[in-house]
Amino acid sequence: MQDTLTALVAKAQPEFAALTTRPEFEAAKARYVGPNGELTALMKQMGTVPKDQRPALGKLINETKTRLQPLLDAALAQIETAELRAQLGPAVDPTLPSPDVGPGTYHPLTLVREEMCRILRKVGFTVADGPEVETEYYCFDALNTPADHPARDAQDTFYLPETAKFANVSKKNPEERYLLRTHTSSVQIRTMLKGEPPIRIVSPGRVYRRDTTDATHSANFHQLECLYVDKNVTVRDLKALLDYIFASLLGKDTKTRFRPHYFGYTEPSFEVDLTATHLPKVKKPWIEIGGCGMVDPTVFADVGYDPEVWSGYAFGMGLERLAMLLYGIDDIRYFYQNDVRFLKQFA
Amino acid sequence: MKISLNWLRDYVALDASHDEISRAITFLGFEVEQIIRTGAPKLANVVVGEVLVRDKHPNADKLSVCTVNLGDPLGVKTIVCGAQNYQVGDRVPVALPGAILPGNFEIKQSKIRGQSSDGMMCSAKELGISEDAAGLLILTDRPALGTPINDVLPPGDTVFDIEITPNRPDALSHLGIARELAAWFKLPLLYPQETFRGALPLDEPARPDLLRSVRVDSPEDCPLYTAHILSGIKIGPSPAWLQERLTAVGLRPINNVVDVGNYVMLETGQPLHAFDARKLGGASIVVRRAVAGEKLTTLDGKERVLTPHMLVIADATKPVVIAGIMGGVDSGVSPDTTDLVLECAFFKRQSIRATGKRLGLTSDSAYRYERGVDVHASLEAAYRAIDLILATAGGKVVGPAFHVGSDVPWEREIIVTHDYITEKLGFDIPAADMRAAFEALEFTITREEPTVHPARGPAWTVGIPSWRDDLDRPIDLVEEVLRLYGTDKIPAAVVSSPGLVGDDDPIVRFNRRVTDYLVGHDFNECVTYTLRPAKEIATWVSATAAQELALANPFVEDQSHLRPTLITGLLESLKLNQSRGVAATHLCETGRIFIERNGQNVECAAVGFIIAEPVAQRSWLKREPVDFYAAKHHVAALAAAAGIDLARQPLASGPGPLLGWQEGHSASVGNIDHGWTARFGLLDLAMVKALGIAGKVYAGSFAILPEKITGETARRRYADFSLLPAALRDIALVVDAATPASEVQKTLAKLARAAAATAFALEAVSAFDVYTGPGVPAGKKSLAFSLVFRSAERTLTDEEVNGVFQKVQDEVAATTPWQIRK
């Protein structure tokens, strides 16, 4: 019997090792240890063996079983490995390109706007929004722009027909006309009318000028304006903000300077220049970047803030201009053409 | 405006460099757009020399070696020269070692082709006085040897082209700019002194035959009108100095009288007009509104049809000048004019602006009146012009002189304290410096007194001069102090940053969220123009939108309307990329659109995208083409960003076609009347093709009223979920091909819920197969759904699930028109 069992193991060993599929495995397993298997058949002979030999034989059979099991396990492991390997195709060529499109890209104007908003958020400014279709009051009157000011001319500003109705753009006076906002300063007015000081907002957005489209002009472009209203706001605070913004954006060595200027809604008013000789295509020592000033008391009075109590500053700039400066882009039309070769450069 | 430095020096002794003056103008608040230099710059070590000997250079055919005499004490030098236009005996400019010529060209002792050279003989171009580089500048006047070249050459001029802000009409003149520079450099300002002060000569008889009357019918447009008669003048060219001045600032000299008028305007800012007295019919002047239909041919040769809005200067019968803007061709000064009427008037800016706008006409005079002329200086200017006409054209002033209008004396005072200015600036400027700034600008300090807090400085009562009508509040004086102090000296500070007082606007957050989503899904974010052509809107949106969204005054035809969709702009960008052979498939944009509803428009926040078939690009590995459900998936995500669950919305693929979208392959949901709307699917194949775009384009858009995005979403509540296994049952139904899957799904869910009742829960009913073909009758389709049941308390047994599932099947058979597919 011993010999029979040893022969059985010896026979099973190469058979198991040669198994390559699960059905083969199951069949082989059945041949030996299945209900009709050879080992099972031997066990069934147990009844024919004298009683005193049975324990020894039982032991022998068990030993054989124990010897067969690792062989079965190994065979199964080998098959599983082979099965997994079969799931793989040939090895990849990692140098082939992915056929998928992308990655997606943010528009450079979005990137610049969001960077400015992040910089400003750090010093307490939150982003405000307002309609692009505006009325004469919010765009001009409330900003101390006299009725006969050239900026209000139909030559420079887009108007909607007098019959036009905009259900969700409120008018201050029923007879005023709708127009396309020429600056985002109208958001300042709406924010001041809606809220209470102190106010710290940044309003980026699309604005419109009736202008020829060329390398530096566009019928619509984007501005970003800041408004701060509080007690005891000073010119020095305004300068500090501008220094902070441009040092954050362009590096610590960036300097800003104020040149006195005139805007109807600020007094005093300044134009802001910055040094940016490290930027591409910048040749002049000072680059004009925006306008700013202390909110004119007339504007405060108009929105019902006591100019004796409240003071504030405002700053505004063109986003295209800033993006052109930052990236060295020399034609504003590229922003609106969306050539994917252009868009992919800023991701 | 152009400002000549030589001219400025008539009023203020400026010896600062051009750069310093330019910087001063800049920091005074005027932008220097250009600096134009004429004549020779200051040149050290350039002197007059005479060529004594001219020998051919031994080593170069085109060069000469010259011996040049510079006189005592410089002596005789050897100079190598390449020019050909001179002869022995000519006197020429010689630049010696140490001279720096324009272009930062430094002259050094040098060797040229082995021959040493002690300097350079110069052309006009090398000296920076003209573009003439043809040869040496031959000094035909033969100035003394060794004379510094600047003593020989005409002095030249520097012209600053300055942009004047609209609040500063006083600076539209040389005197105005001189006043500012005098204040900046702390120099005295010298006003021109007129000889004529209004007194008519007693020995000359009055000449009412030249001008009998002046009448102002429209004093609201013309508060002051003055006229003087000058008789016996002789028209001719202006003297050289006057021509030089006008030429320097870009004006063409015409004749002595016209030139004086221009000169005085550019000196004082007050426009003037001279009439030939003979041409004033009835020897009278009437300042009045034009009568409708009156005509006048202006100096530019154009016939102008006048309206009653326009102010004119008329004689007894007809308009002769458009007041303050431009004269007529017939009444002006001509070469044979001998008697003049000189007008010096003040016209209201609104009147000039309105007339100029109506006529599309402007002039140097109109430009100044539009911005505001100092009425209190008008007479001074008239006297100044009379002086200069008498000096350049002869003649004499005769009576009668006319002075029509009230001359209300100017008086304005502002009280401001040192403390107030300091508080606004945020840093201290000494009180004495503030006071000095006011005085430098010719403001009069009528009082200075201590305030309640004497330590914080005095209070001043500041008299504002008549030419500074822009100043009327204490805050205005803050700017004046700061201007003269220097805005470049504002001390640095740290931004104070208290906590945020709010959060970003919900629309801004929505835009960020959807852009992040789309960019994260491989879209290229685009920015397209808001203004679109009418035809496109009529084609892609609706004929009424093409009417209602029109601008009143478009600038160009293809940008005449507000956009009602983002899709057309994106298609335009797609087309541009395709035409340039650039791979572009996924484009998106966020921005405002304008939707027309029943005659009313609304402004909406919107996001849109297009997904185009990659047409020209080939790839070594193919991907599944994009389809309707990809567009649906993205739109659902965009709606979710606004807090809207698209799965809960009734989706319509009709009724009827949506303009621009392919019928049967697109859907719309929502309604802007209720706050939002979305569309997605395949764009109309024929319309896309008509645009010249190759391949299919899927698209999606979501628009919402800004006020509907509140940013306040209700806090979600956690719902318990079962950890026990689910039981799945599948059911396939044969339904009409047109029956929406959602209808079947909802019915199944309702029936299954009813069947399971409270025993356990129906977790989901989801479609997993749609089939048409063999085994399904024509006009029908088979929809297969998987029903998922689960209990929170126990593992479900087959019997109980089967029981419920059987009930569902029975109900379907009994209550719906659908057949269960076995």
3-state secondary structure B541-604: CCHHHHHHCECCCCCCHHHCEECCCCHHHHHHHHHHHHHCCCCCCEEEEEEEEEEEECCEEEEE
Q: What is the pLDDT of residues A2-27, one digit of tens each?
A: 788 888 888 888 888 888 888 988 99
Instruction: Give the pLDDT band (50/70/90) at residue B655.
Output: low
Closest Cα in chain B to A148: B350
Which among B65, B111, B57, B69 is positioned nearest to B94, based on CA atoms?
B69
Residue B202 to residues B61, B196, B199, B339, Cα–Cα distance (Å): 77, 13, 9, 19
Instruction: Give the pLDDT band (50/70/90) at residue B203.
Output: confident
**In which order are the strands placed within the sheet that holds B31-38?**
B2-4, B157-163, B31-38
What is the nearest CA distance from B673 to chain A, expressed in angstroms? 11
pLDDT at A53: 81
Which among B678, B685, B632, B691 is positioned nearest to B663, based on CA atoms?
B685
Element (H, E) at B196: none
Yes or no: say if A225 and A183 are a contact pair by the CB < 8 Å rule: yes
Gap between the Cα atoms of B506 and A333, Å rounded: 30
Contacts of A337 (CB under 8 A, 6+ apart): B573, B576
Farthest-apart Cα atoms in chain A, separation = 127
Which of chain B's residues have a Cβ under 8 Å away from the Cβ of A90?
none
Mean pLDDT of chain B: 92
Predicted confidence (pLDDT) at residue A251 exceeds the cutoff of 70: yes
Predicted confidence (pLDDT) at residue B771 exceeds the cutoff of 90: yes
Yes or no: say if B260 and B246 are a contact pair by the CB < 8 Å rule: no
Beta partners for residue B736, in sequence order: B780
Gap between the Cα atoms of A293 and A270, Å rounded: 6
Q: Which of A106, A235, A336 sits opposite B519 (nearest CB)?
A: A106
Which of chain B's residues have a Cβ under 8 Å away from the Cβ of A129?
505, 507-508, 706
Gap between the Cα atoms of A53 and A50, Å rounded: 6
**SS3 category, A128:** coil
Beta partners for residue B729, in sequence order: B787
Instruction: Give the pLDDT band (50/70/90) at residue B699.
Output: very high
Predicted confidence (pLDDT) at residue A28 exceeds the cutoff of 90: no
Take residue B339 and report the two structure tokens written for it. 């008697």
Q: What is the pLDDT of residues A188-215, one digit of tens each?
A: 999 999 999 999 999 999 999 998 888 8
**SS3 category, B380:** helix
DSSP assignments along B610-644, one per residue? EEE---S---SS--PPP-HHHHHHHHHHHHHHTT-
Element (H, E) at B677: strand B676-683
pLDDT at B692: 95
Lowest mean pLDDT among B16-25, B332-341, B613-622: B613-622
Gap between the Cα atoms of B78 and B101, Å rounded: 20
Which of A177, A228, A256, A338 is the best mutation test for B, with the most CBs of B within 10 A? A338
What is the nearest CA distance from A199 to chain B, expressed in angstroms? 7
Lowest mean pLDDT among A319-323, B128-132, B159-163, B410-414: B128-132
Beta partners for residue B699, in sequence order: B610, B681
Which of chain B's residues have a Cβ under 8 Å away from the Cβ of A237?
426, 493, 495-496
Gap between the Cα atoms of B257 and B263, Å rounded: 10
Predicted confidence (pLDDT) at residue B711 exceeds the cutoff of 80: no
Contact at CB, B620 and A96, closer than 8 angstroms: yes
Q: Which of A244, A297, A335 sits opposite B527 (nearest CB)?
A: A335
Q: Quick one: DSSP state of residue B487?
A: G
Q: Report all structural domains of chain B as residue ranges with CATH numbers, in order of start.
A: 2-39+158-185 (3.30.56.10), 46-153 (2.40.50.140), 213-404 (3.50.40.10), 413-489 (3.30.56.10), 506-708 (3.30.930.10), 727-821 (3.30.70.380)
Gap between the Cα atoms of A15 and A9, Å rounded: 10
Which among B626, B770, B769 is positioned nearest to B700, based on CA atoms?
B626
More confident position, B12 or B240: B12
Yes or no: say if B804 and B789 are a contact pair by the CB < 8 Å rule: yes
Q: In terms of DSSP bridges, do strands B761-771 and A287-295 run parallel, antiparallel, or are they unpaired?
A: unpaired
Q: What is the pLDDT of residues A289-309, one digit of tens each?
A: 999 999 999 999 999 999 999
Which of chain B's residues have a Cβ under 8 Å away from the Cβ of A213?
556
Burial class (CB in 10 A: 0-12, 13-18, 19+), B779: exposed
pLDDT at B502: 80
pLDDT at B103: 81
Contact at CB, A99 and B622, closer than 8 angstroms: yes
Residue A165 to residues B551, B598, B599, B676, B677, Cα–Cα distance (Å): 12, 11, 8, 19, 20
Which of B501, B619, B621 is the best mutation test for A, with the most CBs of A within 10 A? B501
Q: What is the pLDDT of residues B723-740, one digit of tens each?
A: 999 999 999 999 999 899
Which of A117, A118, A127 is the best mutation test for B, with the most CBs of B within 10 A? A127
Yes or no: say if A116 and A202 are a contact pair by the CB < 8 Å rule: yes
Predicted confidence (pLDDT) at residue A114 exceeds the cutoff of 70: yes
DSSP assignments along B118-135, one per residue? S-EE-BHHHHTS-S--SS
Average pLDDT over residues B255-270: 96
**In which order are the strands placed within the sheet that holds B396-404?**
B273-276, B340-346, B224-231, B396-404
Q: What is the pLDDT of residues B294-308, one digit of tens each?
A: 999 999 999 999 999
Which of chain B's residues have a Cβ under 8 Å away from the Cβ of A268?
475, 478-479, 482-483
Q: What is the pLDDT of residues B280-292, one digit of tens each?
A: 999 999 999 999 9
Which of chain B's residues have a Cβ under 8 Å away from the Cβ of A188?
none
pLDDT at B656: 60
Gap between the Cα atoms of B676 and B710, Å rounded: 13
Yes or no: say if B613 and B688 are a contact pair by the CB < 8 Å rule: no
Domains in chain A: boundaries: 2-87, 108-343
| E-strand stretches of chain A | 126-127, 133-135, 178-180, 199-208, 220-230, 256-263, 266-274, 287-295, 311-318
Gap between the Cα atoms of B273 and B333, Å rounded: 10
Which of chain A's residues have a Cβ under 8 Å away from the Cβ of B555?
158, 210-212, 219
Closest Cα in chain A to B479: A268
Q: In terms of DSSP bridges, do strands A266-274 and B396-404 run parallel, antiparallel, or are they unpaired?
A: unpaired
Q: What is the pLDDT of residues B84-96, one digit of tens each?
A: 899 999 999 999 9
Predicted confidence (pLDDT) at residue B500 exceeds the cutoff of 70: no
Phi, psi of A115 (to 5 degrees): -65, -40
Lowest mean pLDDT among A32-36, B394-398, B409-413, B733-737: A32-36
Residue A168 to residues A49, A133, B380, B595, B673, Cα–Cα distance (Å): 101, 10, 56, 11, 11
Gap between the Cα atoms of A29 and A35, Å rounded: 10
Which of chain A's residues have a Cβ under 8 Å away from the Cβ of B490?
235-236, 239, 258
Predicted confidence (pLDDT) at residue A129 exceeds the cutoff of 70: yes
More confident position, B652 or A60: A60
Gap between the Cα atoms of B259 and B517, Å rounded: 69
Which of B524, B530, B698 is the best mutation test for A, with the most CBs of A within 10 A? B524
Burial class (CB in 10 A: 0-12, 13-18, 19+), B336: exposed
Which of A231, A340, A344 is the best mutation test for B, with the most CBs of B within 10 A? A340
Contact at CB, B553 and A158, closer than 8 angstroms: yes
Q: Side chain identity at B504, as an amino acid letter?
A: D
Residue A128 to residues A150, A184, B311, Cα–Cα distance (Å): 28, 10, 47
Sign of the torsion formed by the C-alpha atoms of B542, B544, B545 and B546 = positive
Q: Quick one: DSSP state of residue B510?
A: H
CB pairs under 8 A between A and B: 254
Average pLDDT over residues B376-401: 94
Contact at CB, B504 and A126, closer than 8 angstroms: yes
Contact at CB, A259 and B520, closer than 8 angstroms: no
Which ipTM score applies to this complex? 0.90
Q: Which of B425, B491, B603 sits opposite A168 (nearest CB)?
A: B603
pLDDT at B653: 63
| Fold designation for A108-343 | BirA Bifunctional Protein; domain 2 (3.30.930)
What is the nearest CA distance from A145 to chain B, expressed in angstroms? 12
Q: What is the pLDDT of residues B442-485, one digit of tens each?
A: 999 999 998 888 888 899 999 999 999 999 999 999 999 999 99
Which among A226, A184, A227, A190 is positioned nearest to A205, based on CA atoms?
A184
Predicted confidence (pLDDT) at residue B654 exceeds the cutoff of 60: no
pLDDT at B624: 87
Yes or no: say if A307 and A97 are a contact pair by the CB < 8 Å rule: no
pLDDT at A125: 95
Gap between the Cα atoms of B182 and B197, Å rounded: 26
**SS3 category, A54:** helix
Predicted confidence (pLDDT) at residue B406 exceeds the cutoff of 80: no
Predicted confidence (pLDDT) at residue B189 exceeds the cutoff of 80: yes
Yes or no: say if B731 and B808 are a contact pair by the CB < 8 Å rule: yes
Contact at CB, B500 and A168, closer than 8 angstroms: no
Which of chain A's residues have a Cβ under 8 Å away from the Cβ of B603?
131-133, 166, 168-169
Residue in the structure block whose two tokens are 């030089």: B244
Contact at CB, A338 and B518, closer than 8 angstroms: no
Yes or no: say if B28 and B20 are a contact pair by the CB < 8 Å rule: no
Q: In terms of DSSP bridges, do strands A126-127 and A199-208 run parallel, antiparallel, or are they unpaired?
A: parallel
Predicted confidence (pLDDT) at residue B192 exceeds the cutoff of 80: yes
What's chain A's length in residues? 347
User: Apex CA B603: angle with CA B600 and CA B608, to 5°?
Assistant: 125
pLDDT at B652: 66
Percentage, residues of chain B above pLDDT 90: 77
Neighbours of A6 (CB within 10 A): 13
Average pLDDT over residues B3-11: 96
Which of chain A's residues have a Cβ under 8 Å away from the Cβ of B497?
122-124
Instruction: Give the pLDDT band (50/70/90) at residue B338.
Output: very high
Contact at CB, A262 and B475, closer than 8 angstroms: no
Start-to-end CA span in chain B (Å): 92
Beta partners for residue B781, in sequence order: B735
For B493-532, letters b (16+ CB in 10 Å) and e give: bebeeeeebeebbbbbbbbbbbbebbbebbbbbbbbbbbb
More confident position, B656 or B230: B230
Contact at CB, A211 and B503, closer than 8 angstroms: no
pLDDT at A11: 85
Which among B404, B423, B417, B449 is positioned nearest to B287, based on CA atoms?
B404
Instruction: Give the pLDDT band (50/70/90) at residue A59.
Output: confident
What is the nearest CA distance from A285 to chain B, expressed in angstroms? 13
Mean pLDDT of chain A: 91
Q: What is the pLDDT of residues B419-454, one digit of tens each?
A: 999 999 999 999 999 999 999 999 999 999 988 888
Which of B184, B495, B600 is the best mutation test for A, with the most CBs of A within 10 A? B495
Q: Which of B487, B587, B706 sits opposite A260 (nearest CB)?
A: B487
What is the nearest CA distance from A22 to chain B, expressed in angstroms? 29
